[in-house]
Amino acid sequence: MRFLLLFILFLFSQAVPAQTNRPEHYDKPYVILISCDGLRYDYVGRFRPPNLLKFIEEGAQAFSMISSFPAKTFPNHYTIATGLYPENHGLVDNTFYDPQRKEFYRTGNRKAVE
């Protein structure tokens, strides 16, 4: 009897449509983060690049950002994406080894990081 009841509950649970993972089902907007590696703090104000200014006008701009240590691309981008510092996420250089995949990743190797 108990098995039959569990089986019926299982069948009903499978009949309920699963949530879809499509953008129109989300209440929150997407966030597009643009990080310009090596961009000096005064570049936008000094040279007024039209494409960057368009992004700033229609989005947001961060002021007074302080890079994490070490001040390298991979560790800092991972820090921005996760909110964790390098001592917590483990990336401390622009090259790192993934023991699960047994592969090296380098910022200069575009194919490996895509």
Residues labelled as active-site residues: 73
Most distant CA pair in the chain, distance: 77
In angstroms, the CA 9 to CA 1 distance is 12
DSSP designation for 95? E
| ∠ CA 111-107-80, rounded to 5° | 115
- The length of the chain, given as a count of residues: 114
